[in-house]
Amino acid sequence: MSLAGQAPSANLARPPMAEEVFKNVQVLKGIPVDQFMGTMGFLSASLGLNCTDCHTEESGGSWARYADDNNLKRTSRRMMLMVAAINKEHFGGRQVVTCDTCHRGSQRPNVMPSLNRLYGEAPPEEPGDPYRQATGQPPAEQILDTYLQALGGADRVARLTSFTAKGTYSGFDDAGKRPVEIYAKAPDQRTTIVRSRLGDTTTTIDGRAGWMAAPLTDRPVAVMPLTGQELDGLRLETGILFPARIKQALTNWRTGFPAIVDEREVLVVQGDTASGGVATLVFDEETGLLTRLVRYAASPIGRLVTRVDYADYREVAGVKVPFRWTVSWLSGRSRFEITDVQPNVAIDSARFARPAPSVPSGR
């Protein structure tokens, strides 16, 4: 039995499936490798464990050793099938119950209410769940118009058609910062290169397809295709760099109720991606600028959520552009700080082609 996820787009080359790259895949068959890796992140976040906690200690230095069986993996397979059966029997197949429903970041499900949680201050809710148009709130298009005006006006925004940038990158476990280069072209082409002596990590979106090339210590395949709702999400992130067509980036726009995020009053709008994902845009009510993007992609066992926090807007060619942003997802966090931006430059189309495999640089 398998818990198949969404199929890859028919007009793109078929990406490798999880069971074709990894050995001993018994339940999560029939899903692309990038979705499989995201699903592992969902399991890890739900149970508060890391990769070697669930697998074996030897797996830390060998992708092949992730295939080794142990009792925790056997239990996880049974639990995934149990959750799928519950959703099928009681919720018509809708993904209502997940690992996180019971575990909430703990290896053992919680069977006793927490008094601290009951009488303590509730953590702030993070906008992201799907919702309908809120009663009495303005249409999303009105908020998006205000955003374009805050950036410098629709005309100026439309005139920003490309840029190159340099800066620094730091990952969740990085002790220091690494050089990063960005090449971007409207409306949805972008290549990001993080330099490292172990090998560069290159993420490329050519407007239609996407790939990540990384050292084999970081990814199970040399060049991993990006698929489905995750590809849509990365395309949206690229489109936000050139927001002249922001209204066409999503469909079924709706406005939620105002909220408080990081002690700031915000306006929240939401829309759907082409592959059925959901994206929520959070705008500072005072400045009108985008401060947060929350998007998620489906997986066989739960939503794979990604959040991008934008900050430090500065003018580039008359348009306000974020010079700092942080990308957080279920198994990592990356911080980007841009120090130099060259707007409206010619960029060779080869920059957005499928990247070559990563090789050690010796730097």
Domains of the chain, by residue range, sit at 18-119, 140-352
End-to-end CA distance of the chain, in Å?
47
Mean pLDDT of 191-207: 94
Is residue 362 predicted with pLDDT exceeding 80?
Answer: no
Nearest residue to 248 via CA among 186, 204, 319, 316: 186
- The answer to whether 345 touches 183, Cβ cutoff 8 Å, is no
Q: Which two tokens stand for residue 175?
A: 């002790």
CA dist 294 and 209 (Å) reads 21
CA dist 104 and 114 (Å) reads 12
pLDDT tens digits for 282-326? 999 999 999 999 999 889 999 999 999 999 999 999 999 999 999
Q: pLDDT band for position 51 (50/70/90)?
A: confident
- The answer to whether 308 touches 324, Cβ cutoff 8 Å, is no
DSSP letter (8 states) at residue 354: P
Q: pLDDT band for position 38 (50/70/90)?
A: very high
Q: Strand pairing of 189-194 and 210-213?
A: unpaired
Is residue 115 predicted with pLDDT exceeding 60?
Answer: yes
**Reduced DSSP (H G I as helix, E B as strand, rest coil) percent helix, strand, coil of the chain, to 5:** 30, 30, 40
Nearest residue to 82 via CA among 101, 100, 103, 98: 98
Q: Strand pairing of 332-343 and 259-261?
A: unpaired
pLDDT for 174: 79
Is residue 124 predicted with pLDDT exceeding 80?
Answer: no
Q: Which two tokens stand for residue 10?
A: 């028919």
CA dist 177 and 174 (Å) reads 7
pLDDT > 70 fraction of the chain, expressed in percent and rounded: 96
pTM > 0.75: yes or no: yes
Nearest residue to 322 via CA among 174, 170, 147: 147
Question: Cα 89 to the chain's mean position, in Å?
Answer: 30
CA angle 350–351–354, rounded 5-degree value: 75
Is residue 9 predicted with pLDDT exceeding 80?
Answer: no
Mean pLDDT of 329-334: 92
CA dist 351 and 165 (Å) reads 13
Classified by CATH at the fold level, domain 18-119 comes out as: Photosynthetic Reaction Center, subunit C; domain 2 (1.10.468)
Q: Which two tokens stand for residue 249?
A: 């980036």
Helices 33-47, 228-241: crossing angle, 10 deg rounding: 90
- The answer to whether 55 touches 23, Cβ cutoff 8 Å, is no
Instruction: Output 1 or 214, whichever has higher pLDDT.
Output: 214
Between 60-74, 84-98, 267-281, the lowest mean confidence (pLDDT) is in 60-74
Partnered with residue 168 across adjacent β-strands are 179, 337
Instruction: Output 352 or 362, whichever has higher pLDDT.
Output: 352
Nearest residue to 157 via CA among 239, 233, 280, 237: 239
On average, the pLDDT of the chain sits at 90
Amino acid symbol at 4: A
CA angle 219–222–227, rounded 5-degree value: 75
Is residue 1 predicted with pLDDT exceeding 60?
Answer: no
Token look-up 């990604």 returns 306
Q: Helix (H, G, I), strand (E, B), or coil: what is residue 42? A: helix
Q: Which two tokens stand for residue 56?
A: 């074996």
Domain 140-352 -> CATH class: mainly beta
Instruction: Output 115 or 279, whichever has higher pLDDT.
Output: 279
pLDDT tens digits for 267-290? 999 999 988 899 999 999 999 999
Is residue 6 predicted with pLDDT exceeding 50?
Answer: no
Contacts of residue 296, defined as CB under 8 A and 6 or more positions apart, other chains included, come to 128, 229, 233, 277, 278, 303, 304, 305, 306
pLDDT tens digits for 227-249? 999 999 999 999 999 999 999 99
